[in-house]
Amino acid sequence: MTVLEIHRRIYLKLYELESPRWTPRERTGLVMALRNEIDILWMTGEIRLEKPTVQQEIQWGLHFFRETLFERTSGLCELLEAALRRHYPEDGLRVKPPLRFSSWIGGDRDGNPYVTVDVTREALAANRRAAMERIDRRLNELTHLVSLSSSEAAVPETFMAQLTHQLELSGRGDVIIARNRHEPFRQYFSSLRARLTATGGGDPKAKPFASVAELASCLLASEEALARMQAISIASSIVRPVRWEVEIFGFRTASLDLRQNTTVINRVLAELWRKLNPLDANERPNREAKRGPNGSIANSKSRSASCRGFVASPPRPRNCWTCSPWRAKSSKGLTRKRLARSFCR
């Protein structure tokens, strides 16, 4: 990660040097800073001497979101919407963000013995924390930028009603109003920030958001109010990118893919079967069924129509998903694809 950051700083320095506006003294300072970055890169180790921990891998993955993906993804939506307007101007199409991100870092429990339950929980918390910090920073930017005054422009009554509601939910409406008098949009985005803090568990006075969709709808309401005030450019270029980020990253940054060994999956399904379908020991047939070397029930002469290799009482329907773990002779031989295929056959 350190080497990547140095590469990025060198790139930015080279980009700055392309501008002709610098004075000789300023250009000399930029060249000196560029030389310093190259010296630092030359004397920085590029290869880790120790294997990174899972926690370091989690932060390494989030580094790319913080440095690039948070910013560039909404820009991609803007390019897509501009292309639609250019080629289909008569339709008035609006872009719904087509991207979602997923990650396996912290969830690959079949390939890394150090990925425990606590590590997975920590990965989920880190992803959530990164998304919440990003949204909070963006709402803070909106609070500073959208400084429209109600004494200078007429604000729609529907938005004022929405503002009153959000001030009540923020739990600190009086403080927000006193800080930004006659600035309804600043009051509005400050209220959303207070509720976002409560969603992360940091503000007991405010009401948390019930879902990401609720926050996105609140941002959409501010866009529509600005559009009715003839401030369409402000709505589309300042507020809408924030709403797109909320819809793309939500409160999680990326969905975490959980990967688990099939033997563990079979063991869990077997436990669920025993919990949900307790069998009377006196009525359980084939009690002396042969078991394989791995403990799974081997192929037996006594089979029912609902569950081959394991007979339940009462019989289960043919599409019973709980039967699937016993449809193979060996639980270790079940691959993910075969296990998935065996469900509800």
The tokens for 274 are: 């025993």
In a domain, 8, yes or no: yes
Q: Tell me the residue type at 307.
A: C
114, 235: one domain: yes
The tokens for 65 are: 């979101």
DSSP 332: G
222, 244: one domain: yes
Mean pLDDT computed over 265-272: 88
Mean pLDDT computed over 67-92: 87
In a domain, 321, yes or no: yes
What is the rounded distance in angstroms from the CA atom of residue 152 to the CA atom of residue 183? 10
Q: At what angle do helices 240-249 and 212-228 cross, to 10 degrees?
A: 170
323, 185: one domain: no
What is the rounded distance in angstroms from the CA atom of residue 230 to the CA atom of residue 58? 44
Assign residue 149 a region: left if phi > 0, alpha if psi is -120 to 50, beta otherwise?
Answer: beta
Per-residue CA distances from 245 to 8, 131, 171 (Å): 23, 9, 26
* pLDDT for position 279: 64
Highest mean pLDDT out of 71-85, 130-144, 254-268: 130-144
- Read off the pLDDT of residues 28-63 as tens digits, 9 standing for 90 and up: 999 999 999 999 999 888 777 778 889 989 998 999
Mean pLDDT computed over 99-122: 89
Residues 17, 30 contacting (CB under 8 angstroms): yes
Residues of the chain with pLDDT > 90, as a percent, come to 50
In a domain, 185, yes or no: yes
Examine the pLDDT at 284 and tell me if it is beyond 90.
Answer: no
242, 270: one domain: no
Mean pLDDT computed over 81-108: 86
- Read off the pLDDT of residues 285-323 as tens digits, 9 standing for 90 and up: 444 444 555 554 444 443 333 333 333 444 444 444 444
* pLDDT for position 292: 53
252, 274: one domain: no
Residue 336's pLDDT band, with cuts at 50, 70 and 90, is: very low
216, 266: one domain: no
Kindly report the average pLDDT of the chain as a whole number: 82
* pLDDT for position 222: 95
Q: Which of residues 275 and 291 earns the better pLDDT score?
A: 275
Look at residues 191, 185, 182 and name the one whose alpha carbon lies nearest to residue 214. 191
Mean pLDDT computed over 278-291: 49
Q: How long is the chain?
A: 345
Assign residue 106 a region: left if phi > 0, alpha if psi is -120 to 50, beta otherwise?
Answer: left
Domain that holds residue 37: 2-42
In a domain, 252, yes or no: yes
235, 271: one domain: no
* pLDDT for position 303: 37
What is the rounded distance in angstroms from the CA atom of residue 290 to the CA atom of residue 304? 17
In the chain, the number of structural domains is 3
In a domain, 52, yes or no: no
In a domain, 71, yes or no: no
Do you find a cis peptide bond into 278, omega within 30 degrees of 0?
no
* pLDDT for position 95: 80
What is the rounded distance in angstroms from the CA atom of residue 176 to the CA atom of residue 133? 21
Residue 327's pLDDT band, with cuts at 50, 70 and 90, is: very low
195, 228: one domain: yes
Give me the residues paired with residue 291 across strands.
Answer: 297
Indicate the SS3 state at residue 318: coil
Which residue matches tokens 């120790």?
Answer: 50
107, 23: one domain: no
Q: What one-character-per-residue DSSP string does 272-313 give? A: HHHHHS---TTT-S-TT--B-TTS-B---S---SS-TTS--S
121, 236: one domain: yes
- Read off the pLDDT of residues 124-183 as tens digits, 9 standing for 90 and up: 999 999 999 999 999 999 999 999 999 999 999 999 999 999 999 999 999 999 999 999
* pLDDT for position 111: 74
* pLDDT for position 259: 86
b/e for 300-323, b at 16 or more Cβ within 10 A? beeeeebbebbbbeeebeeebebb
- Read off the pLDDT of residues 202-213 as tens digits, 9 standing for 90 and up: 878 899 999 999
250, 234: one domain: yes
Q: Is the pTM of this model over 0.85?
A: no
In a domain, 49, yes or no: no
CATH number of the domain that residue 213 is part of:
1.20.1440.90
Examine the pLDDT at 234 and tell me if it is beyond 70.
Answer: yes
* pLDDT for position 4: 82
247, 105: one domain: yes
In a domain, 307, yes or no: yes
Examine the pLDDT at 191 and tell me if it is beyond 80.
Answer: yes
Residue 324's pLDDT band, with cuts at 50, 70 and 90, is: very low
